[in-house]
Amino acid sequence: MKISFANLALPTTGAAVAFVLEGGKLSASAAALDKATKGALRRAIKASRFKGKRGQTLSVLAPAGAKLDRILLIGLGKAKDVDAKAMQRAGGYAYAGLANTGRTALSVLADGIEGAKVKPAEAAANIAYGARLRSYRFDKYRTQEKADAKPSLRTFKVLSKASAAARRAYGPLAKIADGVEMTRDLVSEPPNVIYPATLAKRAQELTKLGVKVQVLGEAQMKRLGMGALLGVGQGSIRESKLVVMQWNGAGARSTEKPVAFVGKGVTFDTGGISLKPGAGMEDMKWDMGGSGVVIGLMKALAGRKAKVNAVGVVGLVENMPGGNAQRPGDIVTSMSGQTIEILNTDAEGRLVLADALHYTIEKFAPKFVVDLATLTGAIIISLGNEYAGMFSNSDQLCDRLSKAGKQVDEKVWRMPMGDAYDKMLKSEAADMQNIGGRAGGSITAAQFLKRFVGKTPWAHLDIAGVTWSKNDAPTVPKGGTAFGVRLLNQLVANHYEKK
Ligand code: BES
Ligand code: MN
Ligand code: ZN
């Protein structure tokens, strides 16, 4: 879909979108459209339950007096609550309201809203951003879809009196959307297409944006002593990989310590010898979601030339049963030197992260490290599909993540940690075991990770509940959500970039 900006003027043909505030107050353009259509809009509002509340929409078809095919009214709620996020949602509604109507083009009449928290240019840019985010569709393997079942919309125009400034403001937002889309692509791909080597290849595409990308194979990881990560991948015929991405955007201050992001990249999680039940196992194609977010985040940061030094490290493995697979009872030695008794081969993500985290901290001495992982089913029991679980040794990092999460609507909820939970990992045979039992399953998983982190400020985001969505949301169509890309981009923008 092509997104463009132009000056505010009433369109005379095609489809138009205009805004209404709570209580039914029409924007200036909506009022002008109402006049041009001899009062069709106000009559339609009267004949419906549309009140201009946030998220309400009303379609008016072929209004007399104008050549317009359709006018879509979108409710914005109260003016004082209208912020950038609200405009993103409005863009999402505009797209969704027209995408499948057979229309190929629409114009959004993005009037400035008196009393709103956003200026006209920012509002217009965020409408475009929201529409772009909502328009994502993973359809490359659908070969027999009928034309009238596919989205028809090709051109999305935002009309604003500040169109030049809006176009400029949209620039970096489009780069974030590029990152989000890459992540959504990666988690949507089937596991016969995306496995460690091919996922590493996709990450290597970031070199085009100036990201330095290094791929370590099994021989190199063996030399580094990554017995925890390698143990998980040993049952697969696919070679495990570790991908290290570096974006040095801090310019003259390029010796400055980087911020670091680490992702779990289990390209398929069968559970291994501790095999998962068959029903729903296909979901485990997105067990590489954390790595997908780290790759998409690096794309967003590099794409918008963020003034920060950032490293992204992803541990890529396929967890398969097989003649050479890891067994319950095996003891492995991690890169940190700590030994781990494997009691359940399905608790594999923490093993991958143990080595990826240790490597990242030892090699880069980052300011902080945030890891993302679809780590436990238990976090879905705790928090459902609304919040990611956050576990951390740093109050400051938690505060910053919570605030960034609210800004971009990717919310995180801090969970407790402590010695009592750590003790649940005590092993009879090794330094620790890889499971802590059913109680507090997400917490013991986090305690396990903490043993590989040391004193570096660290946060672990358990994204098992938020990586894949079964329902459309205003700016997130169902499927891969890319939860984490916008959150961590915002974290960086808020605190770690020099203006
Ligand atoms: N990848 C799963 C966690 C998961 C479950 C992600 C559902 C997304 C949706 C992880 O590797 C796993 O299998 N965890 C086990 C841990 C247990 C064996 C201690 C779990 O949650 O059951
Ligand atoms: Mn597992
Ligand atoms: Zn897993």
The boundaries of the domain holding residue 121 are 2-170
Task: Answer yes or no: do 136 and 199 share one domain.
Answer: no
Q: Would the CB of 464 count as within 6 Å of ligand 1?
A: yes
Q: Which residue type sits at 61?
A: L
Residues 46, 73: contact at Cβ < 8 Å?
A: no
Task: Answer yes or no: do 357 and 422 share one domain.
Answer: yes
Query: Using alpha carbons only, what angle is made at residue 91 by residues 87 and 94, rounded to the nearest 5 degrees?
Result: 135
Distance CA 291, CA 200 (A): 10
**137 catalytically annotated:** no
Pocket test for ligand 1, best of 287, 425, 442 (most atoms within 8 A of CB): 287
Q: Would the CB of 462 count as within 6 Å of ligand 1?
A: no
- Choose the catalytic residue: 35, 54, 202, 276: 276
Q: Would the CB of 467 count as within 6 Å of ligand 1?
A: no
Rounded mean pLDDT, 81-110 = 97
Task: Answer yes or no: do 149 and 213 share one domain.
Answer: no
pTM of the model: 0.98
Pocket test for ligand 1, best of 342, 376, 448, 469 (most atoms within 8 A of CB): 376
Task: Answer yes or no: do 328 and 460 share one domain.
Answer: yes
Q: Would the CB of 347 count as within 6 Å of ligand 1?
A: yes
Ranges assigned E (strand) in 249-308:
259-269
The minimum-distance atom of ligand 1 relative to the CA of 435 is 19
What average pLDDT does the chain have?
Answer: 97
Q: Is residue 476 part of a domain?
A: yes
State the CATH number of the domain containing residue 262: 3.40.630.10
- Choose the catalytic residue: 350, 411, 450, 486: 350
Task: Answer yes or no: do 332 and 391 share one domain.
Answer: yes
Contacts of residue 47, defined as CB under 8 A and 6 or more positions apart, other chains included, come to: none
Convert the pLDDT of each residue in 289-322 to its tens digit.
999 999 999 999 999 999 999 999 999 999 999 9
Torsion angles phi and psi, residue 15, rounded to 5: -110, 140
Distance CA 328, CA 346 (A): 10
Distance CA 412, CA 3 (A): 31
pLDDT exceeds 70 at position 253: no
Q: Would the CB of 334 count as within 6 Å of ligand 1?
A: no
Q: And the tokens for 454?
A: 């040391």
Closest CA to 351 of 239, 217, 229, 227: 229
pLDDT exceeds 90 at position 23: yes
pLDDT exceeds 90 at position 499: no
Task: Answer yes or no: do 155 and 227 share one domain.
Answer: no
Query: Which of these three, 170, 203, 228, is where a domain ends?
Result: 170
State the CATH number of the domain containing residue 83: 3.40.220.10
Q: How many domains does the chain have?
A: 2
Closest CA to 264 of 317, 203, 325, 221: 317
Q: Is residue 286 part of a domain?
A: yes
**223 catalytically annotated:** no
Task: Answer yes or no: do 233 and 324 share one domain.
Answer: yes
Q: Number of helices and strands (H, E) in the chain?
A: 15, 20
Task: Answer yes or no: do 269 and 165 share one domain.
Answer: no
